[in-house]
Structure 1
Amino acid sequence: MDAAPADADLAAQPPGRATSLPARFYCEPAMAAFDRRAVFDRGWQLVAHVCCLRDPGDHVVADLAGLPVVAVRGTDSEGGTGGIRVLHNICRHRAGPIARCDGLAAKSLRCRYHGWTYGLDGVLKSAPEMGDAEDFDVASIRLPRLHARIWQGLVFACSGDDPPPFEALVAGIDARLGTERGLAGYGHHQRIGYDIACNWKAYVDNFLEGYHLPHVHPALNRILDYRSYVTELSDRHSLQWSPLESDGSLYGNGDALYYWLWPNTMLNILPGRLQTNRVVPLGVDRCRVEFDFYYPLDDSGEARARRDADRVFSDEVQHEDIAICEDVQRGLASGSYVAGRLNPLRESGVHHFHELLRHAYREAQEPPLGAMASP
């Protein structure tokens, strides 16, 4: 099939006449590298919560769309982030891993390949048996550092040289959360990850609408009020919220707030619980979703039971999402799908996401996008 002009699919669309993105944006192998260049390297991505980085040497590893990084708290307070730095997790010697997993109270960061050792500030401290290397200055070698910001106790990083204003990403959220629902004070933490056979955008699309709730999530639909389900759009994020009525042994009553922050961060805020989701692309048809659960510092039996119930219920909902997202990916890759109309009421968050994607793709447009064939 002949290639179509890229502009035809990347032009802005009014909400009332909008269609979804064509299937090739989810299926063409070239999209994996293009998404990283056009979207991820130019955006703020979630790395960790400060409760995992309390003391010097505490560190957390993360994958920023193919870039391994490590967030580490140093012994200083330099940079306006309380001494927390986000560094490339790649040794400057021969690309070995500096840290393979999260850790506590490390005195230094040591490459697992040949033992090159870096300080908590990322500066090389020692390199075994390099004495015969000419003009080799240990102190001149350091791990590249990313731009980092801490907001509501969450550590974000941008790998690009010229990051967009962080304030635009979270504008208005502080006022909406207020002091009672602030995110910085959480403590208990657990991570659960899922590998999913779909493009990362298919997973984000699914998160951004409650249209599928009655059909895919029967138990979740019973505790949310679908008729009152509202989507609010901002410049770089969106919010879905609904009144919540559940048993006191799970969440109790209140509002369920589901924030999405461009491009791949979700904050699921329910009474007594923060859950963050990071969607990590692993290829054009694979992604990993990392769920981090945070709770108030309460070790009572009742609190532990609520945490256990939350994780069981969340796992049930997630497996429902995995099944439908993988089905959608197969449909997108089938050759049958032609971009369909979006529901202006129920899929405004999807349209908002697609408009941000179209804008990012226009900004970075070059082959292979212009060379990709229409379905």
Structure 2
Amino acid sequence: MLESTLPSFWYLNNDVFQIEREHIFMREWLCVGRKEQIPNPGSHRVLDLYGESVLLLRNSDGQLRAFYNVCRHRGARLCPDAHDALGSHGVTLSGGVMESRSIRCPYHAWTYSLDGDLLRAPHLKAETEIDLANLSLHSVSVASWGGFVFVHLTPDEAPDFPAQIATTDTQFQRYPLAELGIGHSISYEVAANWKVICENYNECYHCGPVHPELCEVVPVFKQRGGAELDWDRGVPHREGAVTFTASGTTERRMFPGLNADERIRHKGDLVYPNLFLSASSDHVAVFVLQAKSANLTTIDCHFLFESHEMSKPGFDPSDAVDFWHKVNCQDWAICERVQQGMNSRVHRAGIFSPMEDWNLDIRRYVTDRIGAHVSDLTE
């Protein structure tokens, strides 16, 4: 029996997207990048996450902290986002993260430590009986694994992160993820729903028609419609190929510590809801998704390499980057074609073939979290 996809309007309707925003993205651990992007005490990034501005930083001890980018006094944003860094209306405001020691609001100069504690509120005297301890910044939970940074926007409801990442941790235990660095990054905008992109990543039924170059390196991707792939053990390359490049080879060394299978096989995983991992013997391609609307998803693709290799004179990651960029663009183009087609008045739901059985897991994941909330909506 062929299984149905989620109803088509779940991929198209912005009311459904708002329900996902509240019941998935506000209540799940989200990957937001790599630890090396905030390397030193006082380093910080301002993240736009589903309409919420989040300040991610390292405190004076080098520990990761995150807060809603909102002053407890009158709600002013503490730090500008990247689009406002040069100042709106031709004015550059003071404040923000100050000399890697504190966070100061640009409005009335309330000042917080890098742990979010209120340190000073100018001109408020002792008789006001202000309790500084009750006016800390609104916190966001932070966790890290394999060099990745994750945040949870509803800290009181955050599930245990180590338990959640345990299966992936076991799958990639011999890959030196935490020690790898970003050798190159590409950002994409894809005019498709985030679930369409996840479903595409989770199956290789499309690999034969869409990815001829990829199937030259990994022929099993097009055999039997990409069915029965052993992702736990890894998917084998063709004879003589050891990595995801056009030739299947590279001058970079293999990661020390890989087992015999991992030296000639490819491993991939989807860490719900927004991180894709694709590990080869010498590099790892990672994809960090953010759903912007029902019909738009941004994707940051980072290519991770050993510092041993990146420190070599003339380090050139283009053999992997160019190959992945071609495969990525093929994926984004077909996902956009799916999004366009689902808008047809005759398309009520799609069908999963038996070769797409992993997508039943995505269907279950989404339905468990928003099914009861979407039931009252109509197309």
TM-score normalised by structure 2 residue count: 0.78
Cα displacement string for residues 80-129 of structure 1 (whole angstroms, at most 9, x for unaligned residues): xx621122233443342525359998333455677654331123445678
Give the equivalent residue in structure 2 for 1:183. Answer: 177
Tell me, yes or no, if the aligned pair for 2:8 and 2:350 is still in contact at 8 Å: no
User: Structure 2: how far apart are the matches of 1:251 and 1:268?
Assistant: 17
User: For 1:136-182, what per-residue CA distance to the aligned partner results, in whole angstroms no more than 9, with x for missing partners?
Assistant: 66665332212222222222222222122324432333333233x13
- Does the aligned pair in 1 maintain the 2:171–2:232 contact within 8 Å? no
| 1:353 is the counterpart of 2:362 | yes
Alignment partner, residue 170 of structure 1:
165
Which structure carries more relative contact order (alpha carbon 8 Å, separation 6+)? 1
Query: How far is 1:210 from its partner?
Result: 1.1
| 1:296 Cα deviation from its structure 2 partner | 1.0
Q: Is the 8 A contact 2:104 2:112 kept in 1?
A: yes
Choose 1 or 2 for highest CA Rg: 2
Pairwise CA RMSD of aligned residues? 3.3
Match of 1:242 in 2: 235
What is the match of residue 206 of structure 1?
A: 200
Q: Name the CA distance, whole Å, in 2 between partners of 1:207 and 1:332.
A: 18
| Ranges in structure 1 where 5+ consecutive residues have no aligned partner | 1-15, 77-81
Partner of 2:81: 100
Matched, 1:43 2:28: yes
Would you say 1:29 and 2:23 are equivalent positions? no
2:375 matched residue in structure 1: 370
Change (3 A) 1:127 1:178: same
- Residues 275 and 291 of structure 1 are in contact (CA less than 8 Å); yes or no, is this contact kept in structure 2? yes
Distance 1:162 1:178 in 2: 28
Residue 295 (structure 1) shift: 1.6
Judging changes above 3 Å, is the alpha-carbon distance between structure 1 residues 331 and 262 closer, same or farther for their aligned structure 2 residues? same
1:240–1:32 distance in 2 versus 1, CA, 3 Å: farther
CA distance in 2, matches of 1:105, 1:296: 31
Matching residue of 2:331:
321
Between the aligned partners of 2:141 and 2:16, the Cα distance in structure 1 is: 25
Distance 1:97 1:294 in 2: 32
Question: Which residue in 1 is equivalent to 2:212?
Answer: 218
User: Is the 8 Å Cα contact of residues 169 and 261 (structure 1) preserved in structure 2?
Assistant: no
Measured after TM superposition, the shift of residue 135 of structure 1 is: 6.8
Residue 300 in structure 1 maps to residue 312 in structure 2: yes
Q: Residue 87 in 1 paired to residue 67 in 2?
A: yes
Separation of aligned partners in 2, 1:296 and 1:56: 24
Q: Partners of 1:239 and 1:68 in 2: how far apart?
A: 37
The count of residues paired between Structure 1 and Structure 2 equals 341
Which whole-Å deviations, capped at 9, do the CAs of 1:41-62 have from their partners, x for residues lacking one? Answer: 2211112322333321122343
Q: How far is the alpha carbon of 1:287 from its aligned partner?
A: 1.4
8 Å CA contact 1:27–1:285 kept in 2: the answer is yes
Distance of 1:111 and 1:143 partners within structure 2:
11
